[in-house]
Structure 1
């Protein structure tokens, strides 16, 4: 243990040492080899590094995927993190009404901001959008039928499907139309005395093109009103408004438009296009929100104080009118020329530091995507650093970057490592350069 890096926790060093000794012992017992003491130390160091990589830690996202689910989705900015730290380091008025001097509600803090931004009568925040959908369905439709188009029975990440969410909420699914075409008459024919709601789901993670037909919200809302049924719309991505938004979000239904078009309940994520923390919002009619808030499932889905603090800070940015202050939108709206300049600076510095004429590093055109089940098919022109080393494979370089400190997640195209700078914050450039220098100078960190 004394030979291992003392910056590694003692318990981790002990476990790594035991694993290395066990490996060496098995090799001797099986006759497959013998390990010297330095080799056992090296093996223990590899095990310790693997333990460290298993812990939650920051990484540099050089994949070009803005809302990368595997890497934590939307990053938070200074204002959001300041709000989180301020609430986390001590006590807060999470469930205390400072004006009345008595117990309050954790759900009241973001409600006023959401009402102002969306025009909803009321709103409720839970821990994610899948939870928001399930809670709304469970409270309003439990034990009864919900009508939805077959073309909207989407599957979200982790193989979770809308039919499964509906079933878990205790409602019964009634499918109408076909995969590519659904008309208002399909909904009309399906309405019965046991119908609890009409449900519309925005296909946020795929597109159906060609011979298609779908019922627009105003028409579906008129049918719901005619039968005194609530219309629930899961828009998913969390785009608040189309006003001032770039052209490439034109196919996304904004929250404000969904409500004004007649949705009684709208659900959406906070860590997608909203650019905030992981949370889900249920917004709409106050009488329905009140009913939803009394459902016992809310306790299991309640949002914690850190997410609430980050969400409030996010919403305040929107109220101030400049969403580009949020890291997600700042990255998405960065001009490719700015990315090109950063790429060339990093390449020039590495070329000088490494002094390797055989190493091929270039600034190349790239295409970034939003990811996270948002804006399918939308690509943003970007710039990336391409790396080709005649002495090493692209897979080896990519692996060494993942195992470095800081860890860098890149992608491989045409046997070259690509590091897309659209998803690398400018303040991470020095860390990216250091990681590349360590990897390319000597073959990278030792990996088990």
Structure 2
């Protein structure tokens, strides 16, 4: 026999469920909400349905005494909060205060003002993407950057695809499908997203031939592995890690001297790739693209959106006959770049040729910015925060270390200045969560019991918005 309270619970629950407003009633209550004026009605309707469904589940799971159902105004407030938090667009700007200059999850390299301008010009007009205006015949989209890459790298020819992994895949498939590719065991790297050189090689149809050991590989190891089935010698620059201590590796020039007399091409995957020597700015030696080309390597591949400071792209430079084989491969059609990549890449390369790269390309500017300038920006940020808010947040400028990121220069830590936050009453983790919910979101890094906002990667134009977000905490 049912208990008395169970009999009473049924009607209360039914009344609560019946009192839920309809979708149309909630939508009517939202008609005058300016905060969501730019959100498409279909998305608002879906958000209302989801909010009503959550409220229905709450009532059903409320136990023996369900509370009254939320009315249309309350449901509307929840919808507005959710849609405002999400914004009209999913991909949106944020403030990078992590201190990682080439942060893969935050989009890697920022484009220069010139690259942004060129993107806008090309996006809003027809262009000569594949048209030779002089002859009124079909041209090549790659011609827009071919001359720049030839002059900047010293290579005979070039090809650009959508990323460096694609460049390696295309080269392996074009030159060594069904043949052996010799690689040092210490260079069988894994890049972001768990993509590994052996996996890419299998996809290309090439056969991996490992030589040497993890820490030591000698020229004689390559000599022993050579045979009639050898299609390519591949050297992979370990740009995202370092093996130190008891090590040995074979230079690019030595591999060229081994492969060329035997008619075996040598390719080097530089990974991050750089066109300028950063040693004058305190960085360790890193092989530049022109240096590797000058060593005689037949093909060199590198990324466009890492140390180069341009758009995502995989750039291959080298011997004209080999580049032509890559270009004629049907796979290239699936990997080709669009007009936006070409526009941004051309502008980026232009800055190198004009001698303005260090000053105008954000990646290089951030990497080489003096500590004194970063410290001034951090102190300027602190001064924008009211004194009472500074005390409540435990805010102060501290010395810290930044990272290059993007799988480039993994052992390099850059001296920087950061705004440190966190107290017993306002713990760092809670502040981190609150700043990520700000508009624009702010991403810092947690270190021990403090939240660091590294000013190396905080753009000067972001300082006012960051100060407002901190003041409102």
C-alpha change, 1:242 and 1:357, in structure 2 (3 Å) is: closer
Pairing 1:420–2:450 present:
no
Residue by residue over 1:140-183, the C-alpha shift from the partner in whole angstroms, topping out at 9 and shown as x without a partner, is 11111100000000000000000011111111100000000000
Q: Distance in 2 between matches of 1:31 and 1:153?
A: 56
Residue of structure 2 equivalent to 1:443 = none
Match of 1:134 among 141, 145, 169: 169
Match of 1:160 among 188, 195, 198: 195
C-alpha change, 1:173 and 1:50, in structure 2 (3 Å) is: farther
CA RMSD of the aligned region, Å? 1.7
The secondary structure found in structure 2 opposite 1:58 is: coil
Q: Distance in 2 between matches of 1:247 and 1:220?
A: 30
Residue by residue over 1:323-374, the C-alpha shift from the partner in whole angstroms, topping out at 9 and shown as x without a partner, is 221011111111111111121122122124x556433110001111011010
Residue of structure 1 equivalent to 2:184 = 149
Q: Which has the larger radius of gyration?
A: 2
Residue of structure 1 equivalent to 2:439 = 405
The secondary structure found in structure 2 opposite 1:165 is: helix
Residue of structure 2 equivalent to 1:29 = 60
Residue by residue over 1:114-162, the C-alpha shift from the partner in whole angstroms, topping out at 9 and shown as x without a partner, is 0000000000111110111111111111111100000000000000000
- Alignment of structure 1 residues 68-87 onto 2, 5 Å: 68-87=103-122
Residue of structure 2 equivalent to 1:236 = 271
Q: Residues 68 and 371 of structure 1 are in contact (CA less than 8 Å); yes or no, is this contact kept in structure 2? A: yes
Q: Distance in 1 between matches of 2:207 and 2:280?
A: 37
The secondary structure found in structure 1 opposite 2:395 is: strand
* Stretch moving more, 260-269 or 46-55: 46-55
Q: Which 4+ runs in 1 deviate beyond 4 A?
A: none
Residue of structure 2 equivalent to 1:292 = 326
* Stretch moving more, 157-166 or 389-398: 389-398
Q: Residues 172 and 206 of structure 2 are in contact (CA less than 8 Å); yes or no, is this contact kept in structure 1? A: yes
Match of 1:12 among 5, 27, 43: 43
Q: Distance in 1 between matches of 2:207 and 2:357?
A: 39
Q: Residues 12 and 51 of structure 1 are in contact (CA less than 8 Å); yes or no, is this contact kept in structure 2? A: no
Match of 2:366 among 315, 331, 334: 331
- Alignment of structure 1 residues 156-235 onto 2, 5 Å: 156-235=191-270
Pairing 1:55–2:90 present:
yes
Q: Residues 394 and 416 of structure 1 are in contact (CA less than 8 Å); yes or no, is this contact kept in structure 2? A: yes
Residue of structure 1 equivalent to 2:15 = none
- The count of corresponding residues between Structure 1 and Structure 2 is 437
- Give the deviation of 1:50 after TM superposition: 5.1
Q: Residues 359 and 390 of structure 1 are in contact (CA less than 8 Å); yes or no, is this contact kept in structure 2? A: no
Pairing 1:67–2:102 present:
yes
Residue of structure 1 equivalent to 2:17 = none
Q: Residues 241 and 257 of structure 1 are in contact (CA less than 8 Å); yes or no, is this contact kept in structure 2? A: no
TM-score normalised over the length of structure 2: 0.89
C-alpha change, 1:202 and 1:385, in structure 2 (3 Å) is: same
Structure 2: 5+ residue stretches without partners: 1-26
- Give the deviation of 1:226 after TM superposition: 2.5
Q: Residues 259 and 266 of structure 2 are in contact (CA less than 8 Å); yes or no, is this contact kept in structure 1? A: yes
Q: Residues 339 and 382 of structure 1 are in contact (CA less than 8 Å); yes or no, is this contact kept in structure 2? A: yes
- Give the deviation of 1:11 after TM superposition: 2.7
Q: Distance in 1 between matches of 2:320 and 2:390?
A: 66
Match of 1:382 among 416, 424, 436: 416
Q: Residues 348 and 361 of structure 2 are in contact (CA less than 8 Å); yes or no, is this contact kept in structure 1? A: yes
Residue by residue over 1:191-216, the C-alpha shift from the partner in whole angstroms, topping out at 9 and shown as x without a partner, is 11010010000011100011110001
Residue by residue over 1:401-444, the C-alpha shift from the partner in whole angstroms, topping out at 9 and shown as x without a partner, is 11111111111112211100101111111121122223x1xxxx
Match of 2:127 among 89, 92, 112: 92
Q: Distance in 1 between matches of 2:247 and 2:441?
A: 44
Match of 1:392 among 396, 420, 426: 426
Structure 1: 5+ residue stretches without partners: 441-448
The secondary structure found in structure 2 opposite 1:91 is: coil
Q: Distance in 2 between matches of 1:230 and 1:159?
A: 28
